[in-house]
Structure 1
């Protein structure tokens, strides 16, 4: 069967792209090996982060490098096979993390982030998913005076971008979260116009259902190969072949392996995260996601339980699970809240797709017509899926663009 557009990848980004295209009268097929929202979009911290206008540079100060090198930190860990495999991308990451580069990157990044809640709202309304959204913000907690002062100064500067916050004393934090034990913390910042999602995977599934209600099609299958087919595309799966005029690759950390046979080799690298749920009790109920900034983990109230989400682990996609980072995180999490009964027998893990310049790839491929890329959103694919969907729809339908996509084009890494 032939479609106007095939979108490969049914995470938040791919599902949002399919939704926008179908809404604007394209006939769309959404392909993934699992049901929508079952991979990285399922396992994140469940935050739509309006305040996330700052990127996460590679450590450049000597003291920070010394802190990371022993590989025992709770916020970031690495495995040598992945470092060796992705050493060129990591070198580029280090280069792009120079302060002069970061300032320009953040200016470009902010053009996406500023639309995140408004674009989600359009899809939330259409999907009837208000029951999954809590507009209560989240709380950033600090243990050290120096970092807290820097964070407060940055928060004050962010007011110009419409980002709202309140600085909290520990006493004020305890009023908001009376079940928490905040010994060791000195203060917090409440980001009030970011949103909490009680079940991230369910939100993606709600968007996918809305897409289907507009007569969009979904197929669960493994994509084996993508081939040019005249002016369009042929997608060969394990049980069928599909044809389209346009093809969008939005497969997160799997994107590069799909496009590499076509002559593209972008410096995409995965960063793994883990999570574990614990039963919610009257003693550990929390009203907001709590982020321990010094230890690098999130405690979030979800439908499945209290979700503890780790920072990042640099590892290969097919590497065995290593629960060392999660166990270290849980040591600190259990000092904040009583977390006694695990919901799952084994913790979940998934990989985020990252680019060396900390920006996603959004736009046209440079070697083929009607081939479009939308991946590499790092930690913010869940936040940025809907605005990415709008942009890709505008590109394919040749409309005026909501956001200038020049900073996000694939050509910045491709060699002709």
Structure 2
């Protein structure tokens, strides 16, 4: 039997970041994953480190828009009828309740310390990992097709004024200067504080390589084999026997419920599935920034592989077969906005965003199991919040004074 200080379950952005933060504080860490670093949820996203994303993604309250969602008429969201009764329905109702204005205000206050430190924590790790070539400080652009939606977008940007962010309001001509190969739009909002990466999976792997170079161990294994031993320590089966540790961290993203449910923890844990597809840019065309088509709910991001088209949210069971309806709906719209060439993937990639209804992560100790720690449920912001979550978790685990109050993220808040 091998021994270590901490077992980290999961090698996505959240798990790798937690492992690095614990390692930096003198803990010996073994990371367990069935595949490898950054090959699941962390692989497929828009690549944004959303320093400007103060406001959470909330359940819409506009009745007319809700009717369209109910009829699956909008490409930004899609649901499976078969998922409504047992999986999506109860979770969506809780999501609706947590999206009430007074509850959202609490969520904003709770997420702000994490968001404000998100980019600086990434920048430190990127420098240490030698991954500077992946990082771009270009911000991201939110496009609007009509004057009405443009005015609403400006109003949203003005609500962020008190948070000391840098935001440019662009008219149609300004957009053409920054993105000359886009079709004309009514206007845009350019969020300048956000950074992006050209290959999210490669960034997670670079962090994992840094972890290994500093003496960490990575083992392919089954996280569901986690067991608490008679002496209170935690163990996981590895290819050469069990690994034993005083502490274990659950950072399995959308698979975290496979650990906490058998241990008796009940949480309103849901999933927003998403898809992406890469395309070659059309001849002579170039996309300079990640660009969100706000009126149609998809995003185009320049990546190392090509232009990545990412979908909105699909409400379905985590492991249901792929149904990339949103990619099919959005691709022709995207082609009219930007000259996309041939598809570079044989099929759309599918992943699942792990979500709690208040759009905050579960971060901290498991209330009834000593030595068990949770770090999951980052919703749309796993890439953004991985390093800052890892720092906060490591501070709690090693007895440091946390840089912010961790109580809003506690596992028993629901």
Partner of 1:175: 177
Separation in structure 2 between the aligned mates of residue 393 and residue 348 of structure 1, nearest angstrom: 32
Partner of 1:260: 261
Partner of 2:10: 9
Separation in structure 2 between the aligned mates of residue 15 and residue 176 of structure 1, nearest angstrom: 35
Task: Specify which of 96, 112, 115 is matched with residue 113 of structure 1.
Answer: 115
Residues 408 and 20 (structure 1 numbering): CA distance in 2 closer, same or farther, change over 3 Å? Answer: same
What is the deviation of 1:282? 4.1
Runs of 4+ in 1 over 4 A off after TM superposition: none
What is the deviation of 1:311? 0.4
Residues 238 and 293 (structure 1 numbering): CA distance in 2 closer, same or farther, change over 3 Å? Answer: farther
Q: How many residues in Structure 1 have an aligned counterpart in Structure 2?
A: 411
SS of structure 1 residue aligned to 2:67 = helix
**1:44 and 2:45 correspond:** yes
Partner of 2:353: 352
Please list the CA deviations of residues 3-31 of structure 1 after superposition, one character each: whole Å capped at 9, or x if unmatched.
10011011111110001111111000111
Separation in structure 2 between the aligned mates of residue 134 and residue 357 of structure 1, nearest angstrom: 30
What is the deviation of 1:280? 3.2
**1:201 and 2:216 correspond:** no
Please list the CA deviations of residues 169-201 of structure 1 after superposition, one character each: whole Å capped at 9, or x if unmatched.
11111111111112xx21001111111100000
What is the deviation of 1:59? 2.4
Separation in structure 2 between the aligned mates of residue 85 and residue 9 of structure 1, nearest angstrom: 27
SS of structure 1 residue aligned to 2:412 = helix
Separation in structure 2 between the aligned mates of residue 329 and residue 283 of structure 1, nearest angstrom: 22
Please list the CA deviations of residues 343-374 of structure 1 after superposition, one character each: whole Å capped at 9, or x if unmatched.
11111110000101111100111111011001
**1:101 and 2:129 correspond:** no
Separation in structure 1 between the aligned mates of residue 149 and residue 363 of structure 2, nearest angstrom: 33
Separation in structure 1 between the aligned mates of residue 232 and residue 74 of structure 2, nearest angstrom: 50
Separation in structure 2 between the aligned mates of residue 349 and residue 67 of structure 1, nearest angstrom: 24
C-alpha contact (below 8 Å) 1:224/1:237 kept by paired residues: no
Partner of 2:219: 219
What is the deviation of 1:276? 0.5
Partner of 1:366: 367
C-alpha contact (below 8 Å) 2:276/2:349 kept by paired residues: yes
What is the deviation of 1:238? 6.9
Separation in structure 1 between the aligned mates of residue 99 and residue 349 of structure 2, nearest angstrom: 30
SS of structure 2 residue aligned to 1:257 = helix
C-alpha contact (below 8 Å) 1:17/1:389 kept by paired residues: yes
C-alpha contact (below 8 Å) 1:225/1:258 kept by paired residues: no
Separation in structure 1 between the aligned mates of residue 156 and residue 346 of structure 2, nearest angstrom: 40
Partner of 1:408: 409
Equivalent residues in 2 for 1:117-156, closer than 5 Å: 117-156=119-158
SS of structure 2 residue aligned to 1:245 = strand
Please list the CA deviations of residues 177-226 of structure 1 after superposition, one character each: whole Å capped at 9, or x if unmatched.
111112xx210011111111000000010111111111011112222322
C-alpha contact (below 8 Å) 1:224/1:236 kept by paired residues: no
Partner of 2:248: 247
Partner of 1:192: 192
What is the deviation of 1:239? 6.5
Partner of 1:157: 159
Q: TM-score, normalised by structure 1?
A: 0.96
Q: TM-score, normalised by structure 2?
A: 0.96
What is the deviation of 1:163? 1.3
Separation in structure 1 between the aligned mates of residue 257 and residue 272 of structure 2, nearest angstrom: 14
What is the deviation of 1:156? 2.6
Partner of 2:288: 287
Separation in structure 2 between the aligned mates of residue 65 and residue 298 of structure 1, nearest angstrom: 22
Residues 285 and 250 (structure 1 numbering): CA distance in 2 closer, same or farther, change over 3 Å? Answer: same
C-alpha contact (below 8 Å) 1:180/1:284 kept by paired residues: no
Structure 2 gaps of 5+ residues are none
